Amino acid sequence: MTQRNRFFIPREDKRLGDRYQLLEQLGDGSYGWVWRAEKLENREIVALKIPKEQGASNDDLAEGSALVNKTRHPNVVSVFWMGRVPPEREWYAIEMEYFPSRTLSQLLDNGDRGFVASYARILGIYEQVLAGVGYLHELGMSHGDIKPQNVLVQGDRAKITDFGCSVLPEDMYTRTRENGGTILYSAPEVVGSTRRGRGRSDIFSADIYSLGVLLYHLVTSRLPHDTLSQVARHSPFARPREINRSVCPSLEDVILRCLAASPEDRWTSIAELVTATQRARQAQLDYVPERSVSVKREPTADWSSDVIGFIDKSDYARAESVARAQFELTGDQHAFLMMVSAAVRDGRVFDAKRDFDAHPDLWSQPSTLRRDLRELALKCFLETRDIDRSRDLIETMLAEDDETPNILLKKASVLGLQAQYQEASEILLRLNRDFPGRPAVLRRLVVVFEQLRDLGKASAFLKAYGRVNVEDAWVKEKREKFSALGFR
């Protein structure tokens, strides 16, 4: 299996393993294919997402795993199962609720007539999006990529979907999209970043900002910003009423508070935003019930638009070249982040490491991007087996950037590489106590206690790991080894 599969060619009988009959391809996006499929065991119709990065680990491919086996919500596409489809267990798939619909983006593309002509319908759909995001927040997860393409609409019903950027605040192993969510809907503090290691309030506040961008788009037919650099700087933008005079003042206030540059100045929760939106909805219907037509304009573009375009095409070399030119011209820290990120994605970790070495001030001095730059530098050090620098950077990050599970896990890994198994085990046991059942922790606990010659504990953690990774051949191999030594 290649790292990235450009094409998914089903078998002649259009069956995927012994589980699904593929019926119709619904979409082919940057990150995966979506098919309408029939489950062979009960003939139920489901939507099946097949990621393109099939060479990645199961943990990295998982999307919305926190939703599996949870109570269904009317405004969230349900997730039923995910894993390698048996019996071959080659293709990873995510089984979801099939909801025949159009995306909100498709409806908006039809222009100012129809869907966007009525504030009652606009705000009715928007309140359903709020309800869906509120449900995710109640589960402790953010969405991370709120935009019209991820809102499905069927009549007057709406559901949010696509959880590839969703984040559990305590989840240090979540997969992240290449730009941490769609750039123009991202909050300034997370634009271009990984979102790893951010706290609950940080990631929830970023969702609230994205909800503000969505509502701005719904009432003005444009976005507050056109480029990554504008979002990152939180450049001044036109107020909604400057673009569309039919927007009432209270609805504009709701939007602008969502779009505050500082997270502390935004709505503090979805519940608070829902209450304000409901009040503004009534005020809007009393003010002007029909939305006026907005004047179309061409969005602006800059260097960051070109970089994102090349990244979306997986042309990382050209993305790096454009970002490098901008960095050398202006010293822009976002340009540096995108430059080294593109190099890493292109597999040129040593090149990225040289850039970090050449500009240590960019990731040592306080800034909004320091944590993300340090995370990427640490990745470079670890992949090039520069263990001493990895250890030193981890200690610096723990002292200056807050203690996060992700960094503690990396510290345990470095200690293991240095044969300091006892200290590594203490960190891993603490992580397992605080966040039980995490595969990355359980697997390392097996290895560490095997090295400590405590096969009883190694076997116990192997059983725990096997319960959450039943398809991992490594489990069978270790189980056979421990059984031969008298541990079952």
| Domain boundary assignment for the chain | 15-97, 102-287, 302-384, 397-488
The Cα–Cα gap between 208 and 426 comes to 37
Superfamily the domain 102-287 falls into: Transferase(Phosphotransferase) domain 1 (1.10.510.10)
- Profile the chain (488 residues) by mean pLDDT over runs of 10 residues: 55 85 84 90 94 80 84 94 88 93 86 68 96 94 90 94 63 36 83 55 89 95 90 93 94 98 95 97 92 71 88 89 95 93 93 96 88 92 94 93 85 94 96 87 94 93 84 83 81
Q: What is the pLDDT of residue 423?
A: 96
Residue 441 carries which side chain, given as an amino acid letter? V
Architecture of the domain defined by 397-488? Alpha Horseshoe (1.25)
Superfamily the domain 302-384 falls into: Tetratricopeptide repeat domain (1.25.40.10)
Q: Edge-to-edge, what's the strand order for the sheet holding 15-16?
A: 15-16, 20-28, 32-39, 45-51, 92-97, 79-84
Q: What is the DSSP letter of 76?
A: B
User: Hey, do 302-384 and 397-488 end up sharing a CATH topology, with the first three levels equal?
Assistant: yes
> For the domain bounded by 15-97, which CATH number is listed?
3.30.200.20
The Cα–Cα gap between 371 and 360 comes to 13
| Predicted TM-score (pTM) of this structure | 0.81
The Cα–Cα gap between 451 and 470 comes to 23
Which runs of consecutive H residues, i.e. helices, occur in 110-227? 119-138, 200-220
Residue 159 carries which side chain, given as an amino acid letter? K
Q: What is the pLDDT of residue 361?
A: 93
Q: What is the pLDDT of residue 178?
A: 40
Angle at which helices 370-383 and 333-345 cross, to 10°: 30
Residue 308 carries which side chain, given as an amino acid letter? I
Q: What is the DSSP letter of 237?
A: -
Within 10 angstroms of residue 28's Cβ, the number of other Cβ atoms is: 13
Length of the chain: 488
In 3D, which of 2, 31, 30 has the Cα closest to residue 94? 31
Buried b (16+ CB within 10 A) or exposed e, 464-480: bbbeebeebeebeebbe
Burial class (CB in 10 A: 0-12, 13-18, 19+), 290: exposed
